[in-house]
C-alpha cells in the first residue's frame, strides 16, 4: 500500500514539473516574439519616417 502512494505522489510531482516547464517555455517564446516584433516595428517606423529625396 505504501508503494502505491509513493508512485502517485511521484506522478503528481512529475506532472507539476512538466506543466511548469511548459509554462516557462511558452513565456520565453512569447517574450521572444514580442522582442522580434518590436524590433521589426522600429525598423518599419525608421523607414517610413526617413526623408527620402
DSSP conformation letters of 25-46: HHHHHHHHHHHHHHHHHHHHHH
Tally of structural domains, the chain: 1
Q: Which three cell numbers stand for residue 37?
A: 516584433
pLDDT, residue 49, reads 84
Range of the domain at 23: 1-53
Q: Residue 5: its pLDDT value, please?
A: 64
pLDDT of residue 6: 63
Task: Give 1-53 pLDDT, tens digit per residue.
Answer: 566 666 677 888 999 999 999 999 999 999 999 999 999 999 888 888 877 65
- How far apart are alpha carbons 13 and 10 in whole angstroms? 5
Residue 50 per-residue DSSP state: S
pLDDT at 9: 76
Whether the predicted model's global pTM rises above the 0.85 cut: no
Amino acid at each position: 500500500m505504501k508503494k502505491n502512494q509513493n508512485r502517485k505522489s511521484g506522478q503528481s510531482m512529475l506532472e507539476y514539473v512538466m506543466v511548469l516547464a511548459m509554462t516557462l517555455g511558452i513565456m520565453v517564446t512569447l517574450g521572444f516574439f514580442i522582442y522580434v516584433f518590436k524590433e521589426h516595428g522600429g525598423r518599419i517606423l525608421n523607414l517610413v519616417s526617413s526623408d527620402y529625396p
